[in-house]
Amino acid sequence: MEVSKIDNVIKQYGAKESALLAILQDIQTEEKYLPKDALEYVSQKMGIPLAQVFRLATFYNALSLKPRGRHKVDVCLGTACHVRGGEKILDKMERDLGIGVGETTKDKRFTLESVHCVGCCSLGPVAVIDGEVFGRLAQDKVPALLKEFK
């Protein structure tokens, strides 16, 4: 990520410790993950030890150090979805995409993650792909759904 872009983000929130999470989240939104050099730059620019930045980046679920695919698939494993068979949907996705949870397909098309509750419990089991919610899923609906996302 361009240094000037990172500078803008830091300027927006102010170069204070309490803004670190928001700054990292914005970089993540832009780059789809947190590149190592971006974190090193933030550490240097804000005067926060890299070990502390790394600690934050690995603590919060929203932040990822691994490059992500073009499409992010979040399978909901909230209690209501779990009780309605959410695990089976996740397993089917793992089988169809050939990757495990937290991994990205070799062609960088999909990243598969699990989330705990998106708040659409009436529609369980639910998966969110690129921010769009797909409810009332069943194992046999998965292939058609994934096909929609190039």
Partner 1 sequence: MKIQTKNDLEKTREEGLKSLYPGAIKISVGMATCGLSTGAGKVYEAIEKEIGKAKVPIRLERTGCIGFCQREPVVDILEPGKPRIFYQGVTPERCGELVEKWLEDRVVEDLLFCKMEKEDRILEGGVKDYAIQKIPSGIDGTPNYHQVPFYGKQLKIALRNCGFINPDHVEEYIARGGYFSLYKALFEMKPEEIIEEVKRSGLRGRGGAGFPTGAKWEACQKAKGDRKFILCNADEGDPGAYMDRSILEGDPHSVIEGMIIGAYAIGAHEGFIYVRDEYPLAIQKLKIAIGQAEEAGLLGGNILGSGFSLKINLFRGGGAFVCGESTALMASIEGKVGEPRAKHIHTTESGLWDKPSNLNNVETWNNIPIVVSRGAEWYSKIGTTGSKGTKVFSIVGKVKNTGLIEVPMGATLREIVYDIGGGIPDGKKFKAVQTGGPSGGCIPESLIDMPVDYDQLTEVGSMMGSGGMIVMDESTCMVDVAKYFMNFLKSESCGKCTSCREGTKRMHEILTEIAEGRGTTDHIELLKELGWVTAEASLCQLGATAPNPVLSTIRYFQDEYEEHIINKRCPAKVCRALLRYQILSDVCKRCGKCIKACPAEAITGKKKTKKEPGEAFKIDVEKCIKCGMCFEACKFEAIEVE
Partner 2 sequence: MIPFKIDGQPVEGRDGGNVLEVAMDAGIDIPHLCYHESVKSYGACRLCLVEVVRRGKSKMTTSCTYPVMGGIEVFTRTEKVLRARKMIIELILAMCPGDKLIQDMAREMGVDGVRFKKDEKDCILCGLCGRVCEEVVGANAIQFAFRGDRREMIPPFQGEAMSCIACGACVIACPVDVIGMREEGDERTIVRWKRTLKMKKCKVCGNYFAPWFQLEKFKEQAKLSKDFFDVCYTCRT
Find the binder of partner 1 among 38, 71, 72, 124 (CB under 8 A).
124
| Residue 11 binding partner 1, by CB under 8 A | no
Q: Which of these ranges, 1-9, 37-45, 89-97, 99-107, lies near partner 1 under the rule CB under 8 A?
A: 89-97
Contacts of 27 (CB under 8 A, 6+ apart): 1, 6, 9, 34, 38, 42
DSSP state of 134: E
Task: Give which of partner 1, partner 2, none residue 53 binds (C-beta under 5 to 8 Å, depending on kind).
Answer: partner 2
To partner 2, the closest distance from the beta carbon of 114 in angstroms equals 15
Q: How many CB atoms lie within 10 A of CB 47?
A: 8
Task: Give which of partner 2, partner 1, none residue 54 binds (C-beta under 5 to 8 Å, depending on kind).
Answer: partner 2
Q: Which of these ranges, 12-20, 35-43, 65-73, 98-106, lies near partner 1 under the rule CB under 8 A?
A: 12-20
φ and ψ at 103, to 5 degrees? -105, 165
To partner 2, the closest distance from the beta carbon of 129 in angstroms equals 26
In the complex, the residues that contact partner 2 under the rule CB under 8 A are 36, 39, 49-55, 58-59, 65
- DSSP states along 38-84: HHHHHHHHHT--HHHHHHHHHH-TT--SS---SEEEEEE--HHHHHT
Q: Which of these ranges, 2-10, 65-73, 100-108, 124-132, lies near partner 1 under the rule CB under 8 A?
A: 124-132
* Cα dist from 110 to 42, 113, 131, 141, whole Å: 28, 10, 13, 17
Residues that bind partner 1 (CB under 8 A): 16-22, 24-25, 55-56, 59-63, 77-80, 82-84, 88, 91-92, 95, 115-124, 126, 131, 133, 135, 138-140
